[in-house]
Amino acid sequence: MIAAFLAALATPAAHAQPAAPSLPTAARDGGPPVPTLPDTISRDGEGRATVIAVRVPTPMRIDGVLDEAIYTTARPASGFIQMEPRAGEEATEKTEVWVSFDDNNLYVSFKAWESQPERRVANELRRDSGNIRQGDSVGFGFDTFRDRRNGLQFETNALGARSEGQSTNERQFNPDWNPVWRVAAGTFEGGWTIEAIIPFKSLRYAPGSRQVWGFQARRISKWKNEIAYLTKVPNAFGLGRADFSASLYATLVGLEVPNLARTLEIKPFAIADVTTDNVARPTRANDVSADIGLDAKYAVSQNLTADFTLNTDFAQVEADEQQVNLTRFTLFFPEKRDFFLENQGVFTFGNNVFGGAGAVTSDVPLPFYSRRIGLVQGLNGPASVPILGGGRLTGRIGKYQVGLVNMQTRDDDASGSDATNFSVVRLRRDILRRSGIGVMATSRSEAQARPGSNQFYGVDGTFAFFDNLLFNTYWAQTRSEGDSRGHSSYRAQMDYTADRYGVQLEHLTVDPDFNPEVGFLRRTDLRKQYAQFRFSPRPRRSKVVRKLFAVGQYTYIQDSAGRLSTRLADGAFDVEFQSSDRFAVGVLDDYELLLRPFTVAGLRIPAGGYRFTTGRVGYTLGQQRPVSGAVLFERGDFYGGTRSALTMSRSRVNVTAAFSMEPSLTLNWLDLPAGRVTSTLVGSRLTYTMTPLMFASALVQYNSVTRIVSVNARLRWEYRLGSELFLVYNDERDQGATMGRPELQNRALILKVNRFLRF
């Protein structure tokens, strides 16, 4: 079915897109008139800009030294505009940027001037680290289809560390897109420089040799906590949304791009491991195995990309960070496997960003949760299931966004899982300026909740008005084999996100038997009403305080029988300082109805209605500091007793630019009618980066409830662009009730090598 659909879509794709507009029409693209070389930028009074990309006669040398002719013959784009702290004013640190190209490559170069070079913050070398933007850094983005909705983002810092990602519909961001590109950093008296090269083959764009794209550039001066963009961006957007807002990008003209052939990229891999598993039945002791597999990517057209995987293996993926569950609901763990992460924004339904790292307590169902593929609740707890292979098609056809997935797992005796097929179809159409409507369907051939198959289907809409008003809605049903009735869920949400005021209103319904088996559902059987109001003024004359936040929210949830299940009233007051530190206090009043008992940290909580009030106070140190992180203390009632909690999160100790520690701690002191217990979850990630293309890391964790000590250590080396070597060691031990010598549960040493080839 998917193959036929692919063929039907791909055939007219080359004719569905109009030819890209030529350079003289760029002013009609929403930007100022095209500048005249040697000037490369023109501006208007509204903060918009038009930028010229300059052709270079020969490939540029990427070494961080701005000594090529273009840097003297073409004047750079400059005049960056602050988003923070003083929106609309000129940036206090000068930044210059050039965009250039040759027959095969696109180049972006920065010259970042520093008034106080000794205060520069540069503490990250590792690729794809979220800490890159927590120091002095630059970023740039392209809207290659000029649809003002979707973009490709790149960022790097003064040490040459780099990361990249994709944004979808100006809202969702996927940081796990990993194209082939290269960057080099340098210094000069008074600042630092960046040179980046991106092969055109690493990008997707509309047909036609002469192109008009969207382009944005961003500078973070972390030591003064200033963020500036090439075009004017409202400070209500914040750093993330500002990067994604393709509708505010400058107009980039002058590009002459190659006609992309149907590029084929393949990445064969080989893997070998030695495994001991004392929990599995039968047990394994120093079991040696080896295997091979293949990942491939094929450009069906310039707009559509097909991905294939055979004998899939994810041994190089970092272990999950453990969580403490003090609720009766299922925990959410984010996807970490690259094959499923790339282009995941295409499969977002109802504008639900729940699939990312945040919002892990959302009650909104997630129809496609890729961890359902290859990961199951087995006979002896969570287990991985071998994936035979599968394929995926993602891209655009005119105003339509397309996403198809089909994956097949094998039989697995160890977990008791049958071979299962997973299918996902997503189609979304752009309407108005920044809105869209879509449909989505998923299918699982062997469900887990009951014998037989399971299907999900639904329609959704996202409607954006002005800069800050958004409406999200969906209707969906699930069906299972042997159950002829459909079980529904629907949602209507309004979100107003101005800088000074904010309002969220939501109604959400989930039927008792609504069950998307390819998705994630935190809780079922609910009728939810939710409201949040925010007031966040900026003291104009304060040199210490940047912004104040007063937030009140109310949640009222009933079940299908009309019984009150949850009632939450939460008030919070935060202070954001100019240094990026943050102080927070809050009070939560909670009512929970338990229809059946459940267990927390080994203590049984009987069924019944419970009301409790909890106070909290916390402080966050800005991540530009040598030692940073957030500390939160909570105390209050808890299911007929009391609870005190101390949490240390997002912590980081920058020992050197190459070596860092990220400790974490969660302590819960519970005093309940069933007894007293102290729950401890402690861990740390240690990272040593040899070069921007090689690093070693170890994630060490201990959970007092499960008494498990775990170690996940990885060495990753990108020995050539796109080709990697991984050496992974996993060790899990049971500390035991007596805190004696830990008993080995499982252990594995894994070597994996892949090779990137492009044709």
Here the tokens at position 467 are 């800069």
β-strand 250-256 against 49-52: which pairing, if any?
A: parallel
DSSP state of 412: B
CB 234 within 8 A of CB 87: yes
pLDDT at 382: 64
pLDDT at 208: 86
Which one, of 41, 105, 406, 400, lies nearest residue 256 by Cα? 105
Q: Is the pTM of this model over 0.85?
A: no
Binned average pLDDT, 10 residues per bin, the chain of 759 residues: 42 35 48 91 92 96 95 96 93 97 96 92 84 90 91 93 87 79 93 96 88 96 93 88 90 91 85 88 87 89 85 69 71 73 79 42 85 73 79 87 92 81 94 90 89 93 89 95 87 94 95 92 93 95 93 96 95 94 96 92 91 96 88 95 94 89 94 93 93 91 89 92 90 75 88 91
> How much of the chain is helix, strand and coil, in % rounded to 5?
10, 55, 35
pLDDT at 379: 55
CA torsion, points 198, 200, 204, 209, in degrees to nearest 10? 140
CB 594 within 8 A of CB 556: no
- 33 CB contacts (<8 Å, ≥6 apart)? 26, 27, 42, 50
CB-neighbour burial class of residue 454 (10 A; exposed 0-12, middle 13-18, buried 19+): buried
Q: What is the DSSP string of 571-622?
A: EEEEEEETTS-EEEEEEEEEEEEESS-EEETTEEE-SEEEEEEEEEEEEEE-
Q: Give the long-range contacts of residues 92-98, CB within 8 A, separation 24 or more.
A: 92/221, 92/224, 92/226, 93/219, 93/221, 93/224, 93/226, 93/228, 95/138, 95/217, 95/219, 95/228, 97/138, 97/140, 97/217, 97/230, 98/40, 98/54, 98/70, 98/71, 98/74
Q: What is the DSSP string of 322-374?
A: P----SSS--------HHHHTTGGGG--TT-GGGSSS-TT--S-BS--GGGTT
